[in-house]
């Protein structure tokens, strides 16, 4: 083993770093390599319970972490793309999929780590194909995994022999609960059960912990990995919370069921493999397969229980009012209903614009949350309306098809305007309050004037939809707003030159806010240019 004259502590820490970085590299490379397959897998979630388990196994094999997969499911649930009954099987499948990486790292392949790394590096340097580069990078990640495991084992062996640490290791050996919580905490930090179990294998090989304790680490890692999804579900809607807690309850109940039989499982697995690393990996595989078999018949019932424990709240009742896919066989009628939903979306965006300036007056958590909630509503309406319109796009004549494309572009601009308020303007307000900054009197007055003009332009832009004369007026108001923004920028720079302290302190926030307001006005007037250009000339124009 190459130690480069480093201390055992450095070797141990470097081993952990190699292991974590290798896991991340492998995960990211495989995800890029199989990105299209992920989409295909997710589109088949509701076909059958067996297929959903297969989807979970496949996704976890790609992403190398059941926690990462469940976090993705939480995000899809928050976006209302999936429901809990659809993904209960996937949650079970993720547990089985996480055993693949553990099986690979249980093989003593550290002697091949450097040659594989070199080969992968050479391929990435000479190959021009993206998929080959991604595959080679994944191999380099696995090489770093094996190298890290070897370094961890070497470092742990040294420290296990130190008298000053022998007491600590004795406590770990004599108290299974300490091992359990240590594994759970480490997994929550590392965000990967495979990494945690790999560390347990190294400690077991070094004699720091027993095989029984290593299996306890397996239990702790399985529960610790649920922290990733639980964190992702914070602030999510009821579907996201249901998915995260379903993952937690499944893992926890599995541990509670099999914990009393730990020694029996170890005895059974030792008849298959006596090597510590292989025994631990096989026990991990047996535990997750047995859990899947036990809980599979109760997937539907478990979904109902979780849905009752985490019900839909009043704030989660938001949905479309005018859309129903496949209900409108007449595409022209579908377009009219789509327009009504778009106008509803526009009203929400306009309310966000009106309230945005209030973010800078007081540090109001309720208003901040309200802005976030309305942005989520706009995102939901954007996605549902776009899907609805695309479903009918090819059912009508060319004129209908073009109208649908224009509508999709318009609601896309509405969604971008809402994002600008929720992400950019809200961040500027948070920064202002965090730094306890105050706008100058003149500057704040100009911001309020700019805001009032943006509200005026946005209102005109929304009401002008598909009306040439009003669109022309909206364009004129937007051009006036651009001139006003330039004038206010010049005024701000003049105050900076005068050395006005408030202006100096708030300069970046002030200028960025003016830019964001101008951008929002432009987004809500984009459609007007197309309407004016494509409309036939009026009698006054002839």
pLDDT digit string, tens, across residues 462-475: 888 767 788 888 89
Tokens standing for residue 214:
């290593």
Quick one: the chain helix, strand, coil %, rounded to 5?
A: 85, 0, 15
> How many C-beta neighbours within 10 Å does residue 503 have?
21
Instruction: Band the pLDDT of 15: cuts 50, 70, 90.
Output: confident
Q: Which CATH number is 494's domain given? A: 1.20.58.220
- The pLDDT score that the predictor gives to residue 186 is 82
Domain end, chosen from 309, 336, 369, is at 309
Determine contact, residues 172/178, Cβ cutoff 8 Å: yes
Residue 288 has pLDDT above 60, yes or no: yes
The average pLDDT across 437-441 equals: 91
- The pLDDT score that the predictor gives to residue 277 is 84
Tokens standing for residue 240:
């996201």
Asked if residue 30 belongs to a domain, the reply is yes
Highest averaged pLDDT of the listed ranges 236-245, 263-272, 352-361, 388-397: 352-361
Give the separation between CA 49 and CA 47, rounded to whole angstroms.
7
Considering the domain architecture, whether residues 59 and 186 belong to the same structural domain is answered as yes
Residue 131 has pLDDT above 80, yes or no: no
Backbone angles phi, psi at 488, to 5 degrees: -70, -35
Considering the domain architecture, whether residues 73 and 119 belong to the same structural domain is answered as yes
The answer to pTM > 0.85 is: no
- The closest of 364, 366, 344, 470 to 410, measured between CA atoms, is 344
Which region among 78-87, 197-206, 291-300, 486-495 has the lowest average model confidence (pLDDT)? Answer: 78-87
- The pLDDT score that the predictor gives to residue 440 is 92
Residue 532 has pLDDT above 80, yes or no: no
Considering the domain architecture, whether residues 340 and 298 belong to the same structural domain is answered as no
Asked if residue 100 belongs to a domain, the reply is yes
| Total domains in the fold of the chain | 2
Q: Tokens 């004259």 map to which residue? A: 5
The average pLDDT across 187-199 equals: 79
Average pLDDT, the chain: 81
Residue 351 has pLDDT above 80, yes or no: yes
Considering the domain architecture, whether residues 301 and 400 belong to the same structural domain is answered as no
Residue 39 has pLDDT above 80, yes or no: no
- The pLDDT score that the predictor gives to residue 451 is 94
Annotate 55-90 with three-state secondary structure. HHHHHHHHHCCHHHHHHHHHHHHHCCCCCHHHHHHH
Asked if residue 411 belongs to a domain, the reply is yes
Instruction: Name the percent of the chain lying above pLDDT 90.
Output: 27
- The closest of 518, 496, 523, 498 to 508, measured between CA atoms, is 496
- The closest of 507, 499, 516 to 437, measured between CA atoms, is 507
Domain end, chosen from 309, 333, 350, is at 309
Considering the domain architecture, whether residues 247 and 384 belong to the same structural domain is answered as no
Asked if residue 522 belongs to a domain, the reply is yes
Q: Tokens 């510590």 map to which residue? A: 276
Instruction: Band the pLDDT of 103: cuts 50, 70, 90.
Output: confident
The average pLDDT across 356-376 equals: 89
Domain that holds residue 289: 8-309
Considering the domain architecture, whether residues 235 and 371 belong to the same structural domain is answered as no
Residue 399 has pLDDT above 80, yes or no: no
Give whole-number Cα distances, 478 to 356, 456, 507, in Å: 19, 9, 24
Which region among 56-65, 174-183, 469-478, 529-538 has the lowest average model confidence (pLDDT)? Answer: 529-538
Instruction: Band the pLDDT of 542: cuts 50, 70, 90.
Output: very low
The average pLDDT across 177-198 equals: 82
Residue 251 has pLDDT above 80, yes or no: yes
- The pLDDT score that the predictor gives to residue 397 is 53
Instruction: Band the pLDDT of 358: cuts 50, 70, 90.
Output: very high
Asked if residue 337 belongs to a domain, the reply is yes
Residue 118 has pLDDT above 80, yes or no: yes
Considering the domain architecture, whether residues 521 and 439 belong to the same structural domain is answered as yes
Tokens standing for residue 6:
């480093």
Instruction: Band the pLDDT of 228: cuts 50, 70, 90.
Output: confident
């Amino acid at each position: 083993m190459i130690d480069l004259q480093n201390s055992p502590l450095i070797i141990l820490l470097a081993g952990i770093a190699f292991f974590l970085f290798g896991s991340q590299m492998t995960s990211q490379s495989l995800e890029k390599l199989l990105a299209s397959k992920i989409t295909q897998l997710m589109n088949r979630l509701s076909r059958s319970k067996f297929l959903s388990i297969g989807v979970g196994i496949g996704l976890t094999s790609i992403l190398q972490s059941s926690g990462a997969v469940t976090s993705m499911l939480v995000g899809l649930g928050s976006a209302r793309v999936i429901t809990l009954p659809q993904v209960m099987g996937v949650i079970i499948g993720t547990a089985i999929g996480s055993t693949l990486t553990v099986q690979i790292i249980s093989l003593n392949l550290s002697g091949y780590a450097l040659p594989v790394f070199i080969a992968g590096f050479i391929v990435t340097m000479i190959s021009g194909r993206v998929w080959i580069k991604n595959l080679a990078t994944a191999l380099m990640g696995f090489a770093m995994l094996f190298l890290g495991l070897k370094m961890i084992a070497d470092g742990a062996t040294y420290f296990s022999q130190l008298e000053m640490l022998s007491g600590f290791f004795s406590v770990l050996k004599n108290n299974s609960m300490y091992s359990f919580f240590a594994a759970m905490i480490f997994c929550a930090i590392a965000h990967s059960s495979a990494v945690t179990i790999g560390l347990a294998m190294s400690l077991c090989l070094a004699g720091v912990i027993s095989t029984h304790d290593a299996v306890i680490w397996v239990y702790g890692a399985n529960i610790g990995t649920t922290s990733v999804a639980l964190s992702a579900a914070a602030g999510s809607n009821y579907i996201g919370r249901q998915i995260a807690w379903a993952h937690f309850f499944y893992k926890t109940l599995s541990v509670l069921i099999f914990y009393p039989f730990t020694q029996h499982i170890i005895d059974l697995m030792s008849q298959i493999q006596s090597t510590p690393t292989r025994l631990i990996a096989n026990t991990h595989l047996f535990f997750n397969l047995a859990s899947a078999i036990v809980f599979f018949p109760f997937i539907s019932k478990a979904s109902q229980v979780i849905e009752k424990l985490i019900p839909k709240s009043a704030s989660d009742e938001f949905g479309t009012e005018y859309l129903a896919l496949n209900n409108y066989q007449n595409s022209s009628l579908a377009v009219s209903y789509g327009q009504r939903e778009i106008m509803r979306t526009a009203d929400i965006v306009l309310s966000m614009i009106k309230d945005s300036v209030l973010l800078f007056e007081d540090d109001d958590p309720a208003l901040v949350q309200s802005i976030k909630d309305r942005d989520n509503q706009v995102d939901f309406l954007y996605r549902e309306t776009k899907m609805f319109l695309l479903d009918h796009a090819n059912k009508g004549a060319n004129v209908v098809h073009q109208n649908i494309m224009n509508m999709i572009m318009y609601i896309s601009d509405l969604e971008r305007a809402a994002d600008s308020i929720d992400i950019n303007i809200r961040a500027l307000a948070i920064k202002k309050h965090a730094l306890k900054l105050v706008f100058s009197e003149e500057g704040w007055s100009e911001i309020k004037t700019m805001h009032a003009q943006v509200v005026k332009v946005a209102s005109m832009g929304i009401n002008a939809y598909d009306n040439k004369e009003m669109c022309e007026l909206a364009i004129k108001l937007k051009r006036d707003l651009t001139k006003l923004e330039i004038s206010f920028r010049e005024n701000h720079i003049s105050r900076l030159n005068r050395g006005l302290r408030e202006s100096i302190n708030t300069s970046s926030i002030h200028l960025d806010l003016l830019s964001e307001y101008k951008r929002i006005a432009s987004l809500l007037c984009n459609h007007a240019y197309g309407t004016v250009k494509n409309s036939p000339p009026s009698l006054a124009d002839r």
